[in-house]
Amino acid sequence: MTTLSAPPTAPEADGRDHTALLASLREAIGAAHVVTEAQDMAARLVEDRGLRQGTALALLRPGSTEEVATCLRLCKAAKMPVTPQGGNTGLAGGGVPDGGIILTTDRLNRIRQVDPTNATITVEAGCILANIQAAADAVDALFPLSLASEGSCQIGGNLSTNAGGTAVLRYGNARDLVLGIEAVLPDGRVLNDLNGLRKNNTGFDLKNLFIGAEGTLGIITTAVLKLFPKPSARATALVACTGPDPALALYARMRSQTADTLSTFEYVERLGLEMVIDHTPGCSDPMSEAHPAYCLIELTGNGAQADLDTRLEGALEVAFEADQIVDAVIGASEAQKDALWALRENLSEAQKHEGASIKHDVSVPVSRVADFIKVATQACMDHMPGLRPCPFGHFGDGNLHFNLTRPVDMADADFLAEYGAFNRIVHDIVHEMGGSFSAEHGIGTFKRAELRRYKDPVALELMAQIKATLDPDDLMNPGKVL
């Protein structure tokens, strides 16, 4: 990663004596929850994939909103930086401390209320995403946020990074799933906007300021989330087409014909599918011939299974006749549907077997997504002959993981030395097409330079003004985002 910078000096080496602060923190939340031993903090100091090593003076584990507030008040008085951390599964380095104190939301893990009629669930920031999904399921409802790390990521982190995932096409990003929040401000004040209302026009929209701010404006401690009726049926297909242009035409058709049920429209090219088939036990090519590109399509709904099947088959038939697809496999059983999903879900893992990857999490308007794949693929191939581009992902959201696998014969290190050059090529194309260089992973530390390069200058100024207003001492997750 060319955007990495060395961590600043850790505060335990800053020459100040923090004995009094640590004593106050132990007094406030209990000595057992103020961790200072290096080995006990080790897992909290490193980025999930080992891409960044942080440092910290201590790890705080407050057990309530009030304790979070006390911690932030004490840290502010001592001018001690605080890095909020959930499951530490972020992909942009936003949860890794550069000194100061880590405040984990681990112990804020209660599901406070489930209200099936209001279709809401009230959860504390430290709740594991999978546990929230399970609690929704227990009342026959769906909490649709779903992503690879759902077994360990925490909802506080999901909201702070406005997580995306596989259900955005139908249900929106994490931001769209929130009705109200409670948050502790950098000075320890507690914002109570914990409402479960579908309509509430009483002043500025403060909650969306904290959602997606990656912990730089305060700590979200509780949220009221939307629940949805649990779909009773799904119809799943893997279709083959000749490239991104017919895939886009197919997407437009599916959206207009199956609008209220279209939940998934994922894309992968042949190289990606081959990687999965080659490296994932149990995964095989469901089609007899190889094709340039594939789309995984799923409709979900609350009507009869037969209705959904009919809609999917009907739309695909017309797509065949229009030459938008050349082959299709429809999952006839739940096991077959799961097998089609496995081809998508194992992509990131399978890529690792083919050597180093240079990754981009980008989005463009959906109408430009086929153009983007073609133009960016060509530009990257021009830069490095032999390169193996492997674009895949949330085609229907305009969001691609535009991953580049190294040439077969190149050393990983030589390839990764080109990270910055490929970033520039890909992000320049994205920017020119009105897109985003960070669609769902956020800024953290890894993409700060890109933010300064591509973001509207007035937006950057406004962000800095708001940050200075809420956190004048720059204590909340310093060095991240801005």
The C-alpha atoms of residue 196 and residue 145 are separated, in whole angstroms, by 18
Write down the least CB distance from residue 277 to a copy of itself, Å.
Answer: 28
Candidates 116, 134, 138, 411: give the one binding a copy of itself (CB under 8 A): 116
Candidates 46, 191, 271, 287: give the one binding a copy of itself (CB under 8 A): 191
Write down the least CB distance from residue 40 to a copy of itself, Å.
Answer: 32
Candidates 10-18, 36-44, 52-60, 226-234: pick the segment binding a copy of itself (CB under 8 A). Answer: 226-234
- By CB under 8 A, residue 219 contacts a copy of itself: no
The DSSP string of 135-163 is HHHHTTEE-----TTTTT-BHHHHHHTT-
Burial of 140 (0-12, 13-18, 19+ CB in 10 A): exposed
Torsion of CA 161, 166, 172, 177, to 10 degrees: -60
Candidates 166, 357, 438, 477: give the one binding a copy of itself (CB under 8 A): 438
Kindly state the helix (H) or strand (E) to which residue 109 belongs, with its residue range.
none
Nearer to a copy of itself, 28 or 179 (CB): 179
- By CB under 8 A, residue 23 contacts a copy of itself: no
Nearer to a copy of itself, 120 or 346 (CB): 120
Please, are residues 309 and 232 in contact by the beta-carbon 8 Å criterion?
A: no
What is the dihedral sign for C-alpha 77, 78, 79, 85? negative
Region 380-419 residues binding a copy of itself, contact defined as CB under 8 A: 394, 397-399
The C-alpha atoms of residue 364 and residue 379 are separated, in whole angstroms, by 17
Write down the least CB distance from residue 44 to a copy of itself, Å.
Answer: 23
The C-alpha atoms of residue 67 and residue 33 are separated, in whole angstroms, by 11
- By CB under 8 A, residue 261 contacts a copy of itself: yes
Nearer to a copy of itself, 291 or 394 (CB): 394
What SS3 class is residue 25? helix
Pairing mode, if any, of strands 82-85 and 101-104?
Answer: parallel
- By CB under 8 A, residue 48 contacts a copy of itself: no
Write down the least CB distance from residue 210 to a copy of itself, Å.
Answer: 9
- By CB under 8 A, residue 104 contacts a copy of itself: no
Candidates 34, 60, 439, 476: give the one binding a copy of itself (CB under 8 A): 439
Write down the least CB distance from residue 309 to a copy of itself, Å.
Answer: 12
- By CB under 8 A, residue 246 contacts a copy of itself: no
The C-alpha atoms of residue 163 and residue 173 are separated, in whole angstroms, by 6
Candidates 119, 241, 319, 425: give the one binding a copy of itself (CB under 8 A): 119
Candidates 95, 157, 391, 442: give the one binding a copy of itself (CB under 8 A): 442
Write down the least CB distance from residue 100 to a copy of itself, Å.
Answer: 21
Write down the least CB distance from residue 459 to a copy of itself, Å.
Answer: 6
What SS3 class is residue 188? coil
- By CB under 8 A, residue 36 contacts a copy of itself: no
Nearer to a copy of itself, 253 or 279 (CB): 253
- By CB under 8 A, residue 292 contacts a copy of itself: no
**Residue 72, amino acid:** L
What is the dihedral sign for C-alpha 382, 290, 350, 341? positive
The C-alpha atoms of residue 176 and residue 154 are separated, in whole angstroms, by 17
- By CB under 8 A, residue 460 contacts a copy of itself: yes
Region 339-368 residues binding a copy of itself, contact defined as CB under 8 A: 363-368
The residues, any chain, with a CB within 8 Å of residue 26's CB and separated by 6 or more, are 34
Please, are residues 302 and 232 in contact by the beta-carbon 8 Å criterion?
A: yes
Write down the least CB distance from residue 203 to a copy of itself, Å.
Answer: 5
Candidates 12, 14, 66, 115: give the one binding a copy of itself (CB under 8 A): 115
The C-alpha atoms of residue 161 and residue 227 are separated, in whole angstroms, by 20
- By CB under 8 A, residue 16 contacts a copy of itself: no
Nearer to a copy of itself, 276 or 430 (CB): 430
Region 308-327 residues binding a copy of itself, contact defined as CB under 8 A: 311
- CA dist 337 to 11, 230, 331, 412, 433, Å? 52, 18, 5, 35, 35
Where does 221-298 have alpha helices with state H? Answer: 244-257, 270-279
Candidates 19-27, 130-138, 280-288, 458-466: pick the segment binding a copy of itself (CB under 8 A). Answer: 458-466
